Structures are given as structure tokens and as C-alpha cells.
Amino acid sequence: MLFRSLTVSTLAGVAVAQDLTTLLMSTPELSNLTSYLGLFPELTATLASLQNITLLAPNNKAFMKLLNSPAGAALVQNDTTMIQALFTYHVLNGTYADFSDKQFVPTLLQPPQFTNVTGGQMVEAVTSENHVSLVSGLLSNASVSSGPVNFTGGVVHIIDDVLTVPQNISETAIQFNLSAAAGALISADLVTTVDSLSDVTLFVPNNEAFEAIGSALPKLTTQDLASILQYHLVQGVVGYSTLLQNGTVQSVQGNDLTITIEDGEVFVNSARVVVPDVLVANGVVHVIDNVLNPSNTTAAPSPSQKSGSPAFSGASSASNIPFTSGVPMPTSTMGSQSATGATATSSSSSGAAMPAKTGAMGAAALLGGAVLVLNM
């Protein structure tokens, strides 16, 4: 008798964790995700078999936004690589019931073209006043709307925007309107090299920084320019802002860079980081307000000034933004957010209007088809 009542009360006291499929099927605001997963039985089976994961599950609102965006149109086109990348990026490696104030969390993102980062491509979790934002590629920001809910393999958090898979450096520079840097990489013939390294930290000067030393640029040989750009690049360490501290680090060019953190602001030599932590396929980009000079490694920060003096003595400002001819315009290929802050445009809405139509039509077709699959 005693045994029996104990058993009963024990069972009643324990919420038996359900498996992922049961959880998804019984959550109305995840019905679009559930339907869509129904189209990919193998991917879904893999997902359901994983242990010790956190699924960031986009709700129906997020799903509709995706399908009405250019990225949604790509899904409609049955881009299996993108679909795999998108799903696997929403799976965190580990059970994260909550997150610290600012934390970079490894994901199971595949394939390698989006994640040449040891330990896995990251998502940045930012918590303030109980609100959790998940920042992904191109600084897209998704909010956690509810969760965590336990399942047998870990936890699920429901999010109200789909994450943006980190893009390569050259694409990210174009989408962020960092057109001078994008063009400089092309001029120095470094695009493929930079995009195909693993574990990089790249400091990318904004357009104003290149403009400020405009008079010095035409004098540079391709070799000089390559050397300057390589001085902005660190290989072998992905320097997320949470890891940066006072000290020096060797650049790919060979000379050291000096990192200084003062009053919460990050400087590299005399340049200030104006937009930190842009996740890219092979590491992280920090946007800076000065072009770094490998022949001027002692250039020091001046935190009280809005922007430090250029590290190239005698250089004067150009009237045009250098290197920009031939650099494609931003098109906002992914996600729903624009890259505010990186001297980016407020939006590329005119470009996005057309794909939106395709997306909307595709949404109906896709989810209609999905219902059929699930009913079978």
C-alpha cells in the first residue's frame, strides 16, 4: 500500500519529458515548422535522435516572415544546401535552459561552407531584463518568445524570427555597405583567400575610414594594399568580443595588433570598434573607424575623440569612397533585418519587394504540400 502510493505520487510529481516530435506536434504556434519538417523526413529523424541539444524553434510568425523574404524564396526553390544550413543552425550543441548576459553558443550548423570555425558556428545570446535576443549572421536579431520546454533530448526555446546563417566575409561586406573594404579585397585579389581561411578575426574599416586616407591609396601597389589588408586579419583565433582583452595578437601580415579595452570600448591600435561581433562563415568581423597601418604599429587609441587620427601620416581625405566601383549593391539576401549600425542603409526594401511576392506564393504552395505529407 505504502509502495503503491509512493509510486503514484512520484509519477504525479514528475513531468515526464516528451520526445521532440510529440512536443512539436502539440504546440500550435509551431505548426508551420512541424509541417515544413514533414517535407524532410531524414532531417527530421536526425533532429529527433539528437541528445543534449537546444532547438531554437521559429514560431508561425517567424515562418511567415521567412517565406515572405528573399531567403524564403530560396527555400521555395528547394535549395537543399540552404535548407540543411538553416535547420542545423537552429540547433545548439548543449542543453541551454537559459543564457548569460552575453554569450556565444556553438551550433550544429552544416555544411562547412557556412562554418569553418573550430567547435562550431556560433549564435550570440544577449540577455537583458529577462529578454533574450539571439543574434545571428548579418546581425539579425530574433527574440525568444517562450521557453524553455524540456524534451527527451534537451530543451526547446520558441523564437519569433528565423536566424540568418552567417555568410562569407566578402558577401557580408557587400550586404553591410562596407563597400570600400569589399572593393579593396577585390583590388588586392584577396577575396578567395580571405573567404577560405578557417577561424578568422577580421577588423573591417568602414567607408569613412577609407575615405579619410583617400589620398594615400592611389600610391599603393597591389602588394602594399594586400599587406595592409592582411594586417587587419588574424587567423587561428576567433576573437568574439567576450574573449578580447588588453594585449597584442599577430596579424596574418606578420606585425602585431594591439587590443585595448577602455571603459567598455574596444580599440585595435588607434581604431575604435564601432560594430562588434558580426558573425561570418569562417569567424567574426568587427567594424572599425580607421584603416590600420602595418608600418605604424604604435598608433594608440584616443578614447576621448570621436574618431582617432588616421594611422597614415600626411594622408588626406578623398572626395569619393575608394575602391567602390564594381562592388555589387546590398540586396539583403538573407533574414529579415537590415544591418543597422555598420553604416548600412536603413533597408534595401526596394530590392526586397519583388522576392516577397514570390515568397508569399511559395508559402502557400509549400505549406499546402506539407499538410498533405503529414496527413499521409
Ligand X SMILES: *[C@@H]1O[C@H](CO)[C@@H](O)[C@H](O)[C@H]1NC(C)=O
Q: Which window, 4-12, 18-26, 112-120, 222-230, contacts ligand X (CB under 6 A)?
A: 112-120
Q: For residue 13, what are the contacts with CB-CB under 8 A and spacing of at least 6?
A: none
Q: Is 256 left (phi over 0), alpha (psi -120 to 50) or beta?
A: beta
Residue 4: burial class (beta carbons within 10 Å; 0-12, 13-18, 19+):
exposed
What grid cell was written down for 225?
594594399
Q: Which is nearer to ligand X, 4 or 314 (CB)?
A: 314
Q: Could you say which of 249, 261, 318, 360 contacts ligand X (CB under 6 A)? A: 261
Supply the minimum distance, in Å, between the C-beta of residue 331 and ligand X: 10
Q: Binding to ligand X (CB under 6 A): which residues in 56-75?
A: 60
Q: Does 320 bind ligand X (CB under 6 A)?
A: no
Residue 269 near residue 300, CB atoms below 8 Å: yes
Q: Does 197 bind ligand X (CB under 6 A)?
A: yes
User: Rounded to an integer, what distance in angstroms lies between the CA atom of residue 200 and that of residue 238?
Assistant: 5
Q: Does 299 bind ligand X (CB under 6 A)?
A: yes
Q: Binding to ligand X (CB under 6 A): which residues in 265-284?
A: 270
Q: Which window, 65-73, 182-190, 309-317, 350-358, contacts ligand X (CB under 6 A)?
A: 309-317
Q: Does 318 bind ligand X (CB under 6 A)?
A: no
Q: Does 141 bind ligand X (CB under 6 A)?
A: yes
Residue with cell 515562418: 63
Q: Does 94 bind ligand X (CB under 6 A)?
A: yes
Q: Could you say which of 81, 152, 313, 349 contacts ligand X (CB under 6 A)? A: 313
Of 63, 54, 62, whose CA–CA distance to 35 is shortest?
A: 63
Q: Which window, 42-50, 90-98, 213-221, 224-232, contacts ligand X (CB under 6 A)?
A: 90-98
Supply the minimum distance, in Å, between the C-beta of residue 140 and ligand X: 9
Burial 89-108 (b: 16+ CB within 10 A, else e): bbbbbeebeebeeebbbbbb
Burial 324-337 (b: 16+ CB within 10 A, else e): beebeebebbbbbb
Q: Binding to ligand X (CB under 6 A): which residues in 213-242?
A: none
Residue 170 near residue 42, CB atoms below 8 Å: no
Looking at residue 49, the DSSP 8-state letter turns out to be: H
In this structure, are strands 122-128 and 102-106 parallel, antiparallel, or unpaired? antiparallel
Interface residue list for ligand X (CB under 6 A): 15, 31-32, 35, 39, 52, 60, 78, 80, 93-95, 108, 112-113, 116, 120, 126, 131, 133, 135, 141, 143, 150, 167-168, 170-171, 177, 179, 191-192, 195-198, 207, 246, 260-262, 270, 293, 296, 299, 308-309, 311-313, 321, 329-330, 343, 345, 367, 370-371
